[in-house]
Amino acid sequence: NNRFGGHDQAVVAGKGGGGGKGAAAGVGASGEYVVEGLTDLDLKYGWRIEGGNNKAVVEVGSRKSVVVTFTPTPAVMATMPVQGVTVVSQVVLNVSVKGGLPLPPDNVQMYTITCRGFVRQEPQLEE
């Protein structure tokens, strides 16, 4: 994972190149990715795939970014055991990449991505 503040980003690249005709000459093939694993509870706690893009086609020679964000909701804040203590919220996503050249075994590459969000609720000061 790449950490960028409040989100994680994975880059999925379409493989292949130009020149000639057919796969033997290096012409690529488009592929697709699918991100799975966000549960209803994860969504309730504030996890999102930016733009709702959990599935897309990746054209030859292009890249697609999948950005996962975590913005704590009141539901996750209500689970805080003690104010001033950092709590970790974690999701494990499964990413499958199909197609492209060279073709992977079974035409699918599988990845597991773990994303962690750290939440700290500051103690309330009495006035």
Please report the pLDDT score of residue 116 as a whole number. Answer: 93
pLDDT at 114: 95
List the pLDDT tens digit at each of the 127 positions of the chain: 323 334 444 454 444 433 333 333 345 678 888 999 999 999 998 999 987 778 888 888 888 888 999 998 888 777 777 777 788 889 999 999 887 766 667 788 888 999 998 887 776 666 6
- Residue 9 CA to residue 13 CA, distance in Å, equals 13
pLDDT of residue 58: 84
pLDDT at 123: 66
Cα–Cα distance measured from residue 68 to residue 10, given in angstroms and rounded to the nearest whole number: 9
pLDDT value of residue 126: 65
List the 55-58 sheet strands across, edge first: 55-58, 31-36, 86-99, 108-120
User: What's residue 38's pLDDT?
Assistant: 94
